[in-house]
Structure 1
Amino acid sequence: MTQEFLTRRSRLASSSPITASFEFFPPKSDKMAENLWSVAERLQPLGPSFVSVTYGAGGTTRETTHKTVARFLKETDLRPAAHLTCVGASKAEVDEVIRDYWDLGVRSLVALRGDPLNGIGALYEPQADGYAYASDLVAGIKNIADFDISVSGYPERHPESADWQSEIDNLKRKVDAGANRVITQYFFDNDMFEDYLERVAKAGISIPVIPGILPIHNFEQTMTFSAKCGTSIPDWLARRFAGLHNDPETRKLVGAGIAYEQVMDLVDRGISDFHFYTMNRADLTYAICHMLGMGPQAREKKAA
């Protein structure tokens, strides 16, 4: 065994318990719904702190997001956090959704500005009678009820941010409005994330910043989406998937290995809470979390 392996193992054993949350997107068909509940059933024993359910561009999945969240409450032991955006709805419409969630028993929300109606890269134009930005939405939510609110953070800056000062100022507005935690866009360079934490701390922001982790199932799709959302793909990452286009089993092993390496390195840097973008698939996320010591056995050991 190498000294590096022994050091990492001992750090994991002596560090704070690893916790995680999972993100799902609402199903678009009965078949996709069946798959989602199979995934949720598989991941539930890991004991996530919460599960978030996304909101389609312009509120296009508002109804299915609500149904999915309601079903999580009714049929599982998972704590759902519903995504909300500012796009495509008036304040009155959004406020109605917020009150409906509270009445349903939901106590956690993810407040986002949302992508422009014409898609990522298009000009964002606030709706005249709506919440203009995420900070406004956070304040509006807190005016209605004391939800636990997560907001987004960008270790490589939001594509629309002119500079780092603008980026951190915008984050601080969300925090000052009442946000309880930051969940970051996924990234693959942990040094960038550490630099981001330093910028956040210097701005006086003290709420938890949870790194977003994307286990890669399809490298080509990840490349395409990353180009739109501003996440860089390191050369070493591309080389890991080279030649595996027609080899799904090896791709799966490589994807799990890369995500586990990334999370372990973050654990070594003192991080103990993670947010996994599951893509409504259980395999890689479950394997990674199991290797991190999550699940019923870990909870039984802690209770003892």
Structure 2
Amino acid sequence: MAIQIPISFEFFPPKTPEGEQKLNQTISDLSGYHPEFFSCTYGAGGSTQDGTFKTVAHIRSLGYDAAPHLSCVGSTRDHIAQILQELKAQGVRRIVALRGDLPSGMGGTGELHHANDLVSFIREQTGDWFHIEVAAYPEYHPQARSPADDLKHFINKMNAGANSAITQYFYNADAYETFVNAVRAAGVNAPIVPGIMPITNYSQLARFSDVCGAELPRWVRLKLASFGDDRASILAFGQDVVSHLCERLIALGAPSLHFYTLNQAKPSLAIIDAL
């Protein structure tokens, strides 16, 4: 394997026995590439919390480092403190700390309103036990009032005690470079890891991107749309686009790459092999 920087992979907790079987195969396929860690997402308002922790425990039982996502929105200090102690007792050493989203119909935002509040609380409760990852948005958070305000919130998270950050996915390396330069100018030198989303399904990706505020460049949208149902062409074009993106990010000094797998191995591995 030619890639010379660390890599990591993100999963979501499976909901069916078939999903568990598929994820086990995906973990097996990816583990040969010696990832730094695997992470597992958390549903809105903690709706997949049990599945997240179960998946992390399973990955760790296979001998790999695993990081649960932990969100604070809609939760209490006592509940989060209990989770932290359970994770610590299990030997988990890494957390992806997020504000999270409220599920529809759920009232109140909880006792910790922002990700920096959660990071501060984790440090208060557990000291330096956990390596804390937080989210970064090179193209700015969709709810940010301005780029300056978004940068301020990110700096607050880092200053609260985060060790490193993983970005929302993007397809414009200039956005990453500009964001990292702004963060460095603000005096924060922690690693900022690009989040990489393989391109496998145009309609799904367009929907994701519209919801989360990630820009899908017009030329990429038009090219993908032109393939219609030609999945082979979509995969080949997507692999080419994302591989070139990764090459540029590595040249810019990205400390590692974090792949959003959607519980599939092949799309991420095709990109890694192309590098």
Output the TM-score relative to the length of structure 1.
0.85
Deviation track 1:256-283 (CA, whole Å, cap 9, x = no partner) reads 2211111012122232411111111100
Q: Confirm or deny: 8 A CA contact 1:168 1:203 kept in the other structure.
A: no
Partners in 2 of 1:262 and 1:194 — Cα distance?
A: 12
Q: 1:236 aligns with which of 209, 212, 219?
A: 219
Q: Confirm or deny: 8 A CA contact 2:74 2:102 kept in the other structure.
A: no
In structure 1, the residue matched to 2:84 is 98
Shift of 1:45: 0.7
Q: What amino acid is aligned across from residue 9 of structure 2 in structure 1?
A: F
Q: 1:50 aligns with which of 37, 54, 64?
A: 37
Deviation track 1:5-33 (CA, whole Å, cap 9, x = no partner) reads xxxxxxxx8xx922111110000111111
Output the TM-score relative to the length of structure 2.
0.94
Q: Confirm or deny: 8 A CA contact 1:126 1:133 kept in the other structure.
A: no
Structure 1 residue matching 2:226: 3-state secondary structure: coil
Q: What amino acid is aligned across from residue 271 of structure 1 in structure 2?
A: A
Partners in 2 of 1:174 and 1:35 — Cα distance?
A: 35
Q: 1:178 aligns with which of 161, 168, 181?
A: 161
2:75 aligned with 1:108: no
Q: Confirm or deny: 8 A CA contact 2:98 2:134 kept in the other structure.
A: yes
Partners in 2 of 1:143 and 1:271 — Cα distance?
A: 30
Structure 2 residue matching 1:223: 3-state secondary structure: helix
In structure 2, the residue matched to 1:279 is 262
Partners in 2 of 1:53 and 1:95 — Cα distance?
A: 19
Deviation track 1:46-104 (CA, whole Å, cap 9, x = no partner) reads 11111110001111101111110000111x23210110001232111111111111111
In structure 2, the residue matched to 1:139 is 120
Deviation track 1:207-228 (CA, whole Å, cap 9, x = no partner) reads 0001111001111111111111
Partners in 1 of 2:17 and 2:227 — Cα distance?
A: 31
* Aligned ranges 1:153-232 → 2 under 5 Å: 153-232=136-215
Q: Confirm or deny: 8 A CA contact 1:244 1:250 kept in the other structure.
A: yes
Q: Confirm or deny: 8 A CA contact 1:44 1:77 kept in the other structure.
A: no
Aligned length: 273
Shift of 1:156: 1.0
In structure 2, the residue matched to 1:86 is 72
Shift of 1:161: 1.0
Q: What amino acid is aligned across from residue 174 of structure 2 in structure 1?
A: D
Shift of 1:174: 0.9
RMSD (CA atoms): 1.9
| Ranges in structure 2 where 5+ consecutive residues have no aligned partner | none
Structure 1 residue matching 2:159: 3-state secondary structure: helix
In structure 2, the residue matched to 1:72 is 59
User: Greater CA radius of gyration, 1 or 2?
Assistant: 1
In structure 2, the residue matched to 1:246 is 229
Partners in 2 of 1:148 and 1:271 — Cα distance?
A: 19
Shift of 1:182: 0.8
In structure 1, the residue matched to 2:50 is 63
Q: Confirm or deny: 8 A CA contact 1:17 1:272 kept in the other structure.
A: no
Structure 2 residue matching 1:46: 3-state secondary structure: coil
Q: What amino acid is aligned across from residue 278 of structure 1 in structure 2?
A: T
In structure 2, the residue matched to 1:9 is none
Partners in 2 of 1:138 and 1:244 — Cα distance?
A: 44
Q: What amino acid is aligned across from residue 56 of structure 1 in structure 2?
A: G
Partners in 2 of 1:242 and 1:224 — Cα distance?
A: 13
Q: What amino acid is aligned across from residue 178 of structure 1 in structure 2?
A: G
Structure 2 residue matching 1:212: 3-state secondary structure: strand
In structure 2, the residue matched to 1:34 is 21
